[in-house]
């Protein structure tokens, strides 16, 4: 039995359940929510609740947690990267582009960021804006990853 007043214990059990996936995700969200009720500043719990929410397909809940994380740590690239991906799932391309603009500064050599930026421009039918982002991404993509480069059609 977990100590009901120990947020790190609840958070850690939630993290384990998140990593186990599948039917454990609902329990993970409950554990992580309990940890956050005890300590709303516990970033690891909020991050893993966002991940668990995304794995459950609850993109709105994932985005809400990521919004808090980005607000509290705006230069943390993994929070912005995950939020940009969640925003694309929600088809909020302009919001995703805002995150990707910051990520391009934080992670300028990541082809994934540049390719997602190109996709956002493509979704807005801004073909001329998409072209240089895709060109830069293609130059940066490692040869081993080229066969797995995303198809955006």
pLDDT tens digits, 97-146: 999 999 999 998 899 999 999 998 998 899 999 999 899 988 888 754 55
pLDDT tens digits, 81-96: 999 999 999 999 999 9
pTM for the structure as a whole: 0.85
Asked if the model's pLDDT at residue 79 lies above 50, the reply is yes
Helices (H), the chain: 7-20, 25-38, 43-56, 59-72, 77-89, 93-106, 111-123, 127-140
The more confidently predicted of residues 90 and 5 is 90
Provide the terminal-to-terminal Cα distance of the chain, rounded to the nearest Å: 50
Q: Residue 106: CB partners within 8 Å, gap ≥ 6?
A: 75, 77, 80
Cβ proximity of 111 and 137 under 8 Å:
yes
The confidence score (pLDDT) of residue 153 equals: 45
pLDDT tens digits, 18-38: 999 999 999 999 999 999 999
pLDDT tens digits, 36-50: 999 999 999 999 999
């Amino acid at each position: 039995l977990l100590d009901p007043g120990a947020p790190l214990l609840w958070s850690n059990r939630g993290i384990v359940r998140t990593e186990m996936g599948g039917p454990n995700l609902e329990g993970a969200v409950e554990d992580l929510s309990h940890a956050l009720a005890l300590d709303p500043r516990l970033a690891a719990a909020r991050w893993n609740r966002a991940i668990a929410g995304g794995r459950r397909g609850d993109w709105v809940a994932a985005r809400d947690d990521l919004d808090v994380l980005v607000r509290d740590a705006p230069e943390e690239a993994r929070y912005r990267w995950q939020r940009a991906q969640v925003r694309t799932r929600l088809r909020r391309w302009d919001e995703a582009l805002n995150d990707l603009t910051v990520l391009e500064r934080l992670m300028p050599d990541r082809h994934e960021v540049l390719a997602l930026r190109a996709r956002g421009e493509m979704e807005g039918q801004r073909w001329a804006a998409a072209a240089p982002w895709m060109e830069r991404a293609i130059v940066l993509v490692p040869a081993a990853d080229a066969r797995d480069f995303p198809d955006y059609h």
